[in-house]
Structures are given as C-alpha cells and as structure tokens.
Amino acid sequence: YHAIAGMNIEHSFPKSWWGGTQNDAYKDIHHLYPSSSKDNSQKGNFPMATVTNVKHDSGAGYDKVGSTTIEGQTQNCWEPGDTWKGDFARSYMYMATTYQHLKWVNVGLQSLENNSWPTLRQWAYKLYLKWSKQDRVDQQEIDRNNAAAKIQNNRNLFIDYPNLAEYVWGDSVDVAFNPDLSITTASDDARYTGAIVTPTNPSEEPGTPGGGED
C-alpha cells in the first residue's frame, strides 16, 4: 500500500490493551480504520465511551476526545460521531469475542475483563449495545465486512446478524441463537430494512458509562 501523508492505519481497539504483540489481533482488518495522525494521537489508547468533558473535537461528526466517569473514576476517553457509533461498537464487540483469550493489561482493563464472559466490562457492553441499536448497519459497513472477509477469510458476525449482540450481552442471553431465524444484513433478506441512524444528544444520555448504572 502507499501511505497517505497525515494519515494512519489506526488500531481502533488499541494494541496496547493486550501488550502490543503483533499477533492476529494486531493485523485484524475488522478493527483497522483510516485516521488522521493527529486524531489518532489524541485518542491514544483511551477507552471508547461517552465524552462528557470535551478536550479535542475533530468536527464534522467525527471523533471527540476528553474525559468521563467510568465506574466512579474520571477517565480519559474518546467518542465516535453518531453515524459511526454502531460501526465502532460492532468492531469492539467483535474484537472482545474473537480475541477473548488474550490477556488484557493496563488501560485495557478499564473496558475489558480477563474472563470467558462477558469480557467487555458491564458499562462498556451496555453502551455498545445501545450504540449498535441507534446506528444500524449500513451498506458501507456491509461492503467493508465483505471486503475484509475476502482478505482474511472471516467475518464480523455482529454486522451479519445485527441482533447477535443481544444474545451475548443483552436481552436474549438465556435464548439459543439460531442464525436461520435471525435478522440478517443479506441484501435478499426482506426482514432487514437497512440503515437507521438516530443522532444522540449527550445531555439526554441516561447516565454516563458506569456512572452508577446496574
């Protein structure tokens, strides 16, 4: 590939969270995104959450960086724009399940737990479930999933099956997931109607991540 000046290939799910080893997670296309080098640097290895105190705003509906309260502690964090919240939420859910066997360290432990389930901390999976429902899968995300699958021969199933996350962390954890009966993003499946994007207002959030929610 040819590098573009001022741009990075960003590990949206920070590599330092597992110690930076150049393993399969390090090179997994499903969480590698183009990012301006400035914005990538601002985000560092912070957790992805709802920013309540903005220090850096990329503008145009893209990233914000700042801080919020996570599990009673003020933490640096970053937040994607509304039209990207579902994309990043599904990327994070994919990474947390695909690489659940890795040992999470340092800042990664603000978002993850070293266990077989839920792996994502409660504040994180509740927030990402909400974002995934508010910013539904769109055609660009479907196309990206298809392209990534051709290169590395696996798929982000949270894109293929938009309700799958509910069976892992949400309202259907006690129900067996049946892909034959589940809504899919397949273009010939009339049960799924495409992208629904609902912009959010941080002031209307039901609570900051981990801020006393069960």
Using a cut of 0.85, tell me whether the model's pTM lies above it.
Answer: no
Give pLDDT, residue 199. Answer: 47
Q: What is the pLDDT of residues 133-155, one digit of tens each?
A: 999 999 999 999 999 999 999 99
Give pLDDT, residue 57. Answer: 87
DSSP secondary structure, 158-196, as one string = HHHSTTHHHHHTSTTTTS---TTTS----TT-TT-----
Q: What is the pLDDT of residues 17-63, one digit of tens each?
A: 999 999 999 999 999 886 666 666 678 899 999 999 999 887 777 78
Q: What is the mean pLDDT of residues 185-197?
A: 55
Nearest CA to 178 out of 166, 193, 190, 194 is that of 166
Q: Is the pLDDT of residue 187 over 70?
A: no
Residue 105 pLDDT level (bands cut at 50, 70, 90): very high
Q: Provide the CA 7 distance to its chain's centre, in angstroms.
A: 21
Residue 180 pLDDT level (bands cut at 50, 70, 90): confident
CA 182, 185, 186, 188 torsion: positive or negative?
Answer: positive
Q: Is the pLDDT of residue 15 over 70?
A: yes
Using alpha carbons only, give the angle 176, 181, 184 rounded to the nearest 5 degrees: 110
Instruction: Collapse the DSSP code of 34 into the 3-class scheme (helix H, G, I; strand E, B; otherwise coil) and give the result.
Output: strand
Q: Is the pLDDT of residue 200 over 60?
A: no
